[in-house]
Every structure is written in structure tokens, then in C-alpha cells.
Copies of this chain bind each other. A is one copy, B any other.
Amino acid sequence: MKLDTSKKILIVGLGLMGGSYAQALTDLGYEVGALARRQETVNYAKSHGLIRHGETEVREAYVGQFDLVVFALYPHVLLDWLGKYQQYLKPGALLTDVTGVKGRVVYAVQDILRGDVEFIGAHPMAGREVSGVENADKSIFRKANYIVTPTAANTEEAIDTCMELGRTLGFARISRLSPEEHDDMIAFLSQLTHCIAVTLMVCRDTEHMAAYTGDSFRDLTRIARINDEMWSELFMENREALLSQMDLFAEKFAVLRDSIDRGDTAAIRDMMRLSTRRREYFDK
């Protein structure tokens, strides 16, 4: 499927991410429809030019017209939705998602799916510390990464279309990983960092500390302002990978702690030099 503007696109779930997808695609001339739980959400998205039309009831006459369906839902809601409504989908439709964990989602979806539609997982690595359609903002995709996570069940054509969607949305880097590689990477790069930020923030009552706080504490805790419903579910859906990254971090942290306790300046400096060298990869 070539992703030209004759293709109709349905966004299921109009939160921050669904709303931002809708905005980017509508602005490019696509006919974008949406399903949302609340009528006010649909009204907001229409009146702000994010979508052409939208509904709150899932009807075959509506759902059956779309060539591409983007599920911007929590993982468990996505599986429920497909269980109930997949018979409404247009034959040949391509389905994708925005979920931040892949292994537990992609195979489960592909297992239950009709043979004449195709689901391919994708993870747009973009976000904000706020949620809801009223914070939708397609500029969050600029400079961000978009990862497509195909399995053996996917066709090369669908993979191409899904990567094209990432480029169309305006992502800076599009890449392809297996669901397992993705989840390991995300456990380390994203979920572990959120665990650390949350932990830092619950350690002490910091209200009176704002006057003494430099950039480093602010940087490390920016993501401590977190959507607890979404992130707790993401943690649960990627539990083993996350636990193993948390254990790795705790182990290395204990090594540093013991070096400080022993006064082993050489060991501390070795760690710091390694971290300095490795951090340079990210400045490029």
C-alpha cells in the first residue's frame, strides 16, 4: 500500500499521541477520522482541525471505510477493541499502533487477527509531560525516533508502508527492530530512566529545596512528572526486561557506592572517564 492522500486514515484513541498523529496527517491533506470515548474529544479535535470527522460508537459503516488504522490506545484496550470489533475492518486494511512496549502486544494482536488485515507494531518515541488531545502537537515528532517492529508474520510491503508513515509524520530517524530488541532497548533507555526519576523524587520532600536546585536535579527529574496510568501499564507489559535493567543499574550503582566508601579514587575516576567517553556518542 502506497501512503498517498487517497488513503483514509482512522485514529482510534484521541489522546496526546493520537491527536498529534491526526494533526500531522490532516495538515498533509489526508482524510483523517477518529474514534474517541467522549463526544467532547471528537468535538475538540474537529473544531481545532485535527480530524475531518469522528465518532464515539464503533460502527461497521464508519470503521469499514479506512485503509490505515492507527491504534493510539493503552495495550490492554487495544486487545479488547480488536476482540470486539475487528470484523468491521476493511479487508486489506493495514493496522499499526503507538505502544511503548512491543513483545507482549504485537504477537498477541497478530495471534487473534483476521487473515485479511495486517498488523505491524510501531513505536513513535515522542511525548510530552502532559496528556490529552488538547496538548496534541505534531512538532513532538521532529528530531524524534520512530521504530517499526515487524515479526515473521509481516509482509515487506506493510513494513515499507509503516516506515513511510514514520517519515510522513516527520520523524527524524526511522529504524527497524525485532519486538524483543525493541523491548530490551526501551527497558534500558526509557523505562529505567523513568524509574530513576520517580525514585529520586520520592526520596525526600524537596519543596524547600527548589532554591538550591541546579540544572542537574531538574534534568534528572523532568520525567518524574509522569502519567501513572500509562506508565504503570507499560512497566507491567515489559516487566522481565525492565527488572533485568533495574538490576543491572542497581549492581553498577552499588559498585560506585562501594568505591566511594573505600575511598578508591582510581576506581571512581575510571568509571567517570568511561561515562564521559560514552556520553560523547550522544552529543553528535
Contact = CB atoms under 8 A, between A and B. Distances in A.
Interface of A: 125-127, 144-145, 147, 173, 175, 177, 185-186, 188-190, 192-207, 209-214, 216-226, 228-229, 231-233, 235-236, 239, 242-243, 245-250, 252-254, 256-257, 260-261, 263, 265, 268-269, 271-276, 278-284
A6 B235 CA distance: 62
Q: In terms of DSSP, what is the predominant structure of the interface of chain A?
A: helix
**Tally of this chain's copies:** 2
Contacts of A202: 252, 271, 274-275, 278
A236 to B, nearest CB: 6
Ordered nearest first, which 10 A-B pairs have the shortest CB separation? A201-B275, A228-B272, A228-B269, A224-B275, A198-B275, A225-B279, A224-B279, A193-B216, A125-B214, A189-B217
A172 to B, nearest CB: 10
Contact of A226 (B212, B261, B275): B275
Given A210-B281, A257-B243, A282-B213, A252 B145 contact: no
13 contacts: A177-B212, A190-B214, A196-B200, A196-B253, A200-B275, A202-B271, A216-B223, A221-B275, A225-B276, A228-B276, A231-B272, A233-B265, A250-B257
Given A216-B223, A243-B257, A281-B207, A269 B193 contact: no
A199 B278 contact: no
Nearest to A214: B125
Contacts of A275: 197-198, 200-202, 221, 224-226
Given A210-B284, A212-B147, A257-B250, A272 B198 contact: yes
Given A144-B214, A272-B231, A206 B125 contact: no
